[in-house]
Amino acid sequence: MKTLYVKNANDKIGEEIELFGWVYRQRVHGGVVFVILRDSTGIVQVSIHKNNIGPDSFNNAQKVTIESSIRVKGKVVEDSRAPTGIEIKCSEFEIISLAEKFPIQEGAGKEFLLDIRHLSLRSLKLTEIMKIKELIMQGARGYLQENDWHEVFPPIITSAACEGGTTLFSIDYYGREAYLSQSAQLYLETAIFPLERVYSLTPSFRAEKSKTRRHLSEYQHLELEAAWMDAEDIMKVEEELVASMCREISEYKGLERFGRKKEEMILNLPLQRIKYDEAIQIIQKKGIDIEWGSDFGYEEEKLLTSEFEEPFFVYDYPIEAKVFYMKQNPDGKTYACADLLAPKGFGEIIGGSQREDDLKALENRMELDGIDKTPYQWYLDLRRYGSVVHSGFGLGIERLLMWICNLEHIRDACLYPRTISRVEP
RNA sequence: GCCGUCAUAGCUUAGUUAGGUAGAGCAUCUGGCUGUUAACCAGACGGUCGUCGGUUCAAAUCCGGCUGGCGGCGCCA
């Protein structure tokens, strides 16, 4: 078993160590060969000198190909000429598996890279993104554990739609039609009765024919639902959760390659909250003709978010712009809901709301929206048996990651992006 | 669903406006080189231009159909 990683080499200067990894780069200069060894923790240069090493080892280093798996032994020395400031003066060089000609090189197109995602995953950039994705979930779990949230595991296969309007992927379920879940929300609402504060991290599926840099057909959805919380309370949870996720990665040095400074990852709470009405005014002042009542298009959202440096809330959207399960405000025109938007056009990160807890009001709303209540009987039951004020929200992990890492396209935020035109590899 | 755009070697591409059967860089292979940083130098190999059809003496280039990709809109996280 491998016990030493590239990152540990920094502490081993002057010592003889053994490293396992893959060839990231290789350059042959006659009597000296430079191999950049890569492992999950980073890269380090290995120098192989003809005169200081056995002929087999030198021969191996000379013929080794990019992405071959290798074992090297050597002394760790400081050297300013090496890319990371240290290098391994090689004494043994073994090829474990000689790679065939690796298809990826500098300048490869993005489409080609997606076609061979199973290989392009090895890039340093994607490696960092995967680590940051993991870290933000650690930050989320840290917050959730400290604040008495229970993780639950709702089904992905469902029979009922949840969000209005969005398209479902249908599957053949033993001869019946079923769907891939778009949101765990309705199931989470059932779970607040035994557990009060619940969350889940599940994939959500949207069969929207979206071709934009912000949409995926499958994405990681972190959803929270809590009893005894109103719209105000849940906004507080949202910002504390996001702040905790950002704080977790603020110390991570890999952040620099994405042009982010750690100070930017320390959010100033409370985040700004602007009412939908104010947002409309801001957009109108910019010369865009937008009517009260419509949800923001991307152009409007871009204009709005360019006014902010940190994520911010827009709350109290008009009823016609949102979904039936939300709690209506006393004004009769808006819902007690809030979206968290990332600045500079990165878009909506969170959509949340207080839920309608009154049976009659919910039924009325469904009738007005022309929704068939039959498949929702179990959902309506929640209002029959001990209904309680409750609120919740859903957070798109890839959207958040996209903002944190300044990604141009959301597909870079996942291992194997699923989009309208890609299910492979 | 709508709008736009693109398809030339393993990869990235020039050539398309004004039609005359393709040019480069990288990769690969061979040789050289003991400090490179996307190493460098020399040489070789490699494509009939997404696909089907049309116009023409002649089509990568003009026209039409099809397929696929990319970008954007709507929708959303």
Give the distance, in angstroms, between residue A32 CA and nucleotide B13 C1': 34
In this complex, the answer to whether residue A313 has its CB under 7 A from any atom of chain B, a nucleic strand, is no
In this complex, the answer to whether residue A111 has its CB under 7 A from any atom of chain B, a nucleic strand, is yes
Chain B bases closer than 7 angstroms to a protein Cβ: 1-2, 10-13, 25-29, 32-40, 68-77
φ/ψ of A295, rounded to 5, equals -75, 160
pLDDT of residue A257: 87
Task: Determine the residue type at A71.
Answer: R
Q: What is the DSSP string of A70-118?
A: EEEEEEEEE-TTSTTSEEEEEEEEEEEEPPPPPS--TT--HHHHHHTHH
pLDDT of residue A110: 83
What's the fold here for domain A117-413?
BirA Bifunctional Protein; domain 2 (3.30.930)
Give the distance, in angstroms, between residue A409 CA and nucleotide B18 C1': 40
Q: Which residue is nearest to nucleotide B68 (CA to C1')?
A: A421
pLDDT of residue A422: 81
pLDDT of residue A129: 93
Q: What is the interface pTM, i.e. ipTM, of the complex? A: 0.83
DSSP β-ladder status, A176-180 and A170-173: antiparallel
In this complex, the answer to whether residue A109 has its CB under 7 A from any atom of chain B, a nucleic strand, is yes
Ranges of each domain in chain A? 6-97, 117-413
Q: Give per-10-residue mean pLDDT for chain A (425 aa).
A: 91 94 93 94 94 91 93 94 94 93 84 87 91 95 96 90 65 87 93 97 87 88 96 96 95 88 90 91 81 80 86 92 91 92 86 94 90 88 96 95 90 89 78
What's the fold here for domain A6-97?
OB fold (Dihydrolipoamide Acetyltransferase, E2P) (2.40.50)
Distance in angstroms (rounded) separating the CA atoms of residues A147 and A145 = 5
Tokens for A264? 């930017």
pLDDT of residue A162: 54
pLDDT of residue A419: 86
φ/ψ of A340, rounded to 5, equals -100, 120
